[in-house]
Chains A and B, each alone.
Chain A
């Protein structure tokens, strides 16, 4: 069966520090991968998605970037965090143009 992992689960970082969140998927190959951000009490905002290694589509221009160095690895990064980067970050995968399966999320607090 397929599983999706995210780490860390929680993170507290100072403004201006770098960020690296990692997401890995097991039990499938060539998944579509997604990064979302969720503000408190709100819906999900799609940040990036990838249909293959090295292929990244950015949805919202902002202080973040994404990379897919391996087929089942998706990384969300920032060189310098802003206060507004705080939120709940969710990684998801899908086998194609169907339902998505979400990881447990990373709670990021920027102070």
Chain B
């Protein structure tokens, strides 16, 4: 399969805790992107990490990429109830020119 496999499918934590979501893939990529989707809404781009990068930060988000293991993780630190959403990894390959989305991780942050 070209798409990313996300783990876990669902995650429930308390406000203030950290949330970690993982994405594994099988193809070669140029970059890997993470998106967020609130229920019934469009997706919002969070962060893009290139294949030659290992770690990237954006506010409370930290993304890592291990191309040798073909895996990425998204860490949300000090989670808030407003972080409740589905999070998707998406793989981009210049060979195909397309962005392939994983099935997503549903995160619930309890106040």
Contact = CB atoms under 8 A, between A and B. Distances in A.
Interface of A: 34, 36, 41-44, 46, 49, 59, 88, 90, 92, 94, 97-105, 107
B92 A97 contact: yes
B41 A104 contact: yes
Chain B interface SS verdict (over half):
strand
Nearest to B103: A43
A107 B40 contact: yes
A43 B88 contact: yes
Contact of A99 (B3, B33, B42, B94): B33
Contact of A49 (B40, B94, B98): B98
Contacts of B3: 43
Interface string B75-105: 0000000000000100010100111111110
Contacts of A100: 43, 45, 99
Contacts of B44: 102
